[in-house]
Structure 1
């Protein structure tokens, strides 16, 4: 059912009450006026009859009707009434409008009978003689104590009705005017009552839309003014509470958004209630599309589904490891789950916190590999030295030729141990310098540094008949640590010389590209398979362990290059094709020439 406005509930009610009241008053007034007119008419007729009665008291004899006829007609004309004189037997003696001989005996008439009984008789009925509705009033005519006749006066009722009709018409017109005035007055009163309420309704709608800063100004009745003040207080309290809730929500959103841990909330039916950006990125979903949907529909990770189910069923907080595979890359997550409860302590879901420990796991793997590799790298020369020493103890010292061979072996393995330890110490120094206070960088020309590195490797290149070509503008400057950068280039050149064919070429190129300084060392050697490239800069990682040891490598050269590039806020890249050679590129930030020296930290 369509709701009705207040004014259309008030106005018809007021109008109906007023109209009913007017109709009731009008009916009562008309009815009372009709009775009043009839009473006045009866009183007037009675007065006339009593004035006539003394004038005919001595003339009421049966034979005197002829003498009274003119008198009755004259009285009827002067009194504007019908005058009838009746004897005690009911015989009409004379009548002002009719021949008495043609008239019936009136002894049975109600008014005549009452007059003969000594009372005033009044009656209204249809006259068969005059053929119209008449009002009759009869009074007794006395001579002493004896009733000698009756004088009856009569008047047509339609004359009274015409007079009443005229008055009723005026009353009706006045009633219509009063009704119109009442309708206007009812409309004005209804509007006066409904308009303040309408204003309150519009104010409540503004509050519902969130416009809580506006206030209701009201000067109507006390009750509505109190209601407006209560609504203003409610709006102020709501505004304050909403501001508090909004501030808390923004703080919560900021906390969740800034967390590196993924936060995921689900209800008891495993539907996602909330997740922050870190969680969405970890599980590979969009936050807006995931909220409100079952986790099985949005996240296709069976390990996560099992952990969520476990967190919902457990009474205590739970922990577990989850492995997610995306694009062929494994991601390790450490999950913590606990129940969510409402203010009454009832369970409403579970909260899952996801920590990405992939880097930690990889670092742990690297640490284990490093320990294993360094142990293996150190064990090999130590074993060789120990074997050579035991052989010498067993009698090889007595054979000069064999003794010199074993002593040379011990010296070679000792040199290898020394090289490994030197590289480890270099790595340690670079890491400590970068982490503590940064390495000193100065703006200087790059070509002399590259020329010094080439000079260090010239003898090894000459032994294989290799040519080292340098392409570097003399005006190229950068902020560098010359000794460390020279060491990185020497390590790259050493590897290029080792794995290049005899009488080949190794190229060293330095140039500025897109605001970065690129130092490339390119060889035409055997190349490196793509599977080894991601781990190439790990410590002691070897593509071909046997060949690397035979060539005298420690397995730390490329790791040192990586750390030197990082100490310069740069990186090292590699491109290689099996059978076609490799290109190692040191990428350094280029900030232009700077004559000052300062420290930098990665």
Structure 2
């Protein structure tokens, strides 16, 4: 584990400080963004509550106006019968304690008070009933009933026909009994046994359409009569509405409003009186709708009569006593539609905060990257100075040593003196090449290196450069050259191309300590002249194949093998080849050697077959 003091040394201390500053900045920015988001949420909640309060006021005002208008219509219906189809919603009852009419007609299944049509008194049929039941003389009883059935009074006629049909049925005269019931079915304005005469007659005849007529409100019946004569299950909603009408009518106040619950359903009743006459409207509670708001109405016992009350959400409340309404109103915000998400202001705030954090992190990354790159360049420059100093020191040391020997006259023989002179010339040339290489690289980097293009033969150029490696050849190394017999001319600067080729061959010798041979081949392919330099040296890893063409960069194999160099040779080669509109390729595997291929545009003469 790296000690803390190591992190406090340059450049790690600078990177650590930069990281800490970035962390603090991002944390502060995130905290401010969170606070702004919370503040925006509070503002949005306050605005939402204000909108709910306004919506509650509008709903309460609209509902008060609706109830007032309904009361005025009830007062008008006390004096004028409503038109057909009115009211459009609910049931309207108009009448007194003894008789009541329902509107729209046929909508109410049963009535809160019995039918007020006349019914014949039982004493009128005492003689016939005595003969029928006490004296067991049905024939004479039938005669009495027939005589009464001819009465002009519909109530007396209906009572007599009912008893006649009964007697005839007892004695087995079914057809005559049915005929009596049929006559009775035509009487609509009389009662028998407390029920409409026609209803009783059709029920006795087994009329299949009786139930449908009952559901259409054909007769004014009570609930018991409806359930008896209709038989079977009846519509729950219509039965609940009729029951609510009965309860409200029998408990109505002169100018009252009430909420009734029947079968778990709420109903609202409003009534108006004029003397003994009364008008009452019974309907399901309705609350006017307002955009972006949901309203719930709650009665005095806390039961929801309309809408849906969400106790978890904030609501604008209008108590019944304060709003002068029959219910307490709870107004909440409407649910957001699917996909609506958070408000636009919050999305913009999150987006802005996120963008600033990303810019801050990205800026820190690029600054750290630039610092590391500068530090790396500084290190490579230091290595370059060290390597160049060593490159200068070797020839200078040889020149100084040999010059002192010659100056002091310590040369043992003339032959040895010539050897010293040759060495001085060779080391001087080596030093000159090194200086020229550095000067040329500097001019190339500055874009001030002039190129003098001319047509030159690749074969002659390669043989000339190869002749500069006599020292390597004398040490037992081999340089094998091969190429086609036909001309391979290129348009280029011979001196610059010589520098490039010399650097590549020199690297091949330096990085091939165990491989004595370097192969140089040239050829024409695809209108370009290819010069290939191959060795069996250390090789280059895939990760370093692009980096070694940058200035001051040397491969890891060079450092491992302690091979000396300046790190600008291949960078200079890349500059020269690019200036000639060519390219350089590299194929290499660690331990298997490297192959450099310089591709240059061929001159026109090289592309013409001999």
TM-score calculated relative to the size of structure 2: 0.36
Larger CA Rg, structure 1 vs 2: 1
TM-score calculated relative to the size of structure 1: 0.36
Higher-strand-fraction structure: 1
**Which one scores higher on RCO, CA 8 angstroms, separation ≥ 6?**
2
